[in-house]
Structure 1
């Protein structure tokens, strides 16, 4: 497969919200990219592409939809097969797809099915996608994996009293702690690939309902931390949970 195509970037959950903003930031970077808009619903993925194309600023960048549902092993396999056939490699994987709660239960639940539902997307699906993508990532010159996370998953911060949603956010917090642990693990066990857990902060999207819409930051501002990881501006904090906000940047303890 030709290596002359710009770096191939797969962004899951990219048809709306933060994922869409991440795609927009990549499409307006000074660097060209082959941007794949991952979406569970194929039509919504195509709609997102149609909105992004007129605003992209690099003539060499391309934007295409790809159907992927991280809660489905078959969908993950199919998407990666398509990427392998069409591009032969994957340079950057942005694991953005996630949910704040079980369907119809945005806030905490204590039932096994509801906990399984949130872990299915935020943990099991993310782990399966990332590990299944390792062969394609290793065909890239500088493979990178950026996992969108939350400081609500920092056990250190929670232990010190950082529980902004209180008990009602427990299963989201636990799911992010689990995927954070995997980022820390991968960064030690797969040193030929660079990993980051990127915390965008509270973002003004539909993700957390009215609360995030009213109190969150601009999605494009939040998305830029992902671009910085991809473009070499976070090389000193590889394998860590990073953040950027209000002109400042730093790391959160696991």
Structure 2
């Protein structure tokens, strides 16, 4: 049965924002997918899945919610156990869940607990989820891990003055540099799995508050780079931090 279902794609933070747009892009792709909506809140995940079922254009694709809080080891284990039981494999893992600042302190994360909160989600949770998913991914004929990152995590760009949010974004930037470093390592040490770090650019979502909502680009446009990685259109940039916008594409230096 596991081999008869369409490729299984698990997207974290998929009940809203960019994660929702990524799920929507997969649900409207030419190829069918088994789309798993990762959400901290089960009810919000179910609501997102219900909406996506109404807007999908590929009727062969299925959409289901998976409860997961990547700041919780128990939640990660439970989610992967469910995927293993229900589907027997994982073809594509999209690590999208992330936070800019500590809860309730988006632009004012100034204490050690604030920094730890950012790293718990953006780094520690992401690492644990991805590494815990390796056994399931290796049951796929073409395992892929796509990490949604930011060019704010490029040490090269920061060193050359790319600090669009100033000191307020330092800990978010540092967290993305850390997960970028892990992805670069995995791409060298886990050769049977393909990895990408994708930078969506500024996206019109709630992620950065009013600024991103007013100045960002359409979420579905930003989300399509993930589909391209999944469908073999980015094979020449495996293991790198990539971007795709306004008909152009490229690679950011680490």
Kept in 1: contact 2:11–2:23 (CA 8 A):
yes
Look up the match of 2:21: 21
**Stretches of structure 2 lacking an aligned partner (at least 5 in a row):** none
TM-score by length of 1: 0.99
Q: Deviations over 1:196-238 (max 9, x none)?
A: 0000000000000000000000000000011101110000000
Q: Is the 8 A contact 2:2 2:89 kept in 1?
A: no
Shift of 1:54: 1.2
Measured against aligned partners, the alpha-carbon deviations of 1:56-111 in whole angstroms (never above 9, x if no partner) come to: 11121100001000000000000000000000000000000000000111124331
Aligned twin of 2:190? 190
Aligned to 1:91: 91
Cα distance in 1 for residues equivalent to 2:220 and 2:72: 28
**Residue 100 of structure 1: aligned partner:** 100
Q: Structure 1 segments of 4 or more deviating over 2 A?
A: none
**What RMSD over aligned residues (CA atoms) do the two structures have, in Å?**
0.7
Inter-partner Cα distance in structure 1 for 2:249 and 2:154: 17
User: Are 1:109 and 1:168, in contact at CA under 8 Å, matched by a contact in 2?
Assistant: yes
8 Å CA contact 1:201, 1:222 repeated in 2: yes
- Which residue does 1:121 correspond to in 2? 121
Write the distance in 2 (CA, Å) between the matches of 1:117 and 1:168.
15
2:53 counterpart residue number: 53
Aligned residue pairs, count: 254
Asked if structure 2 preserves the Cα contact closer than 8 Å seen for 1:108 and 1:167, the reply is no
Contact 1:108 1:169 in 2 (8 A): no
| Corresponding residue SS for 2:228 | helix
1:210 aligned partner = 210
1:21–1:219 CA contact under 8 A, matched in 2: yes
Local SS of the residue matching 1:163: coil
Provide the rounded CA distance (Å) in 2 between the counterparts of 1:244 and 1:108.
30
Distance in 1 separating the partners of 2:43 and 2:119: 26
Aligned to 2:63: 63
Asked if 2 retains the 8 angstrom alpha-carbon contact of 1:108 and 1:171, the reply is no
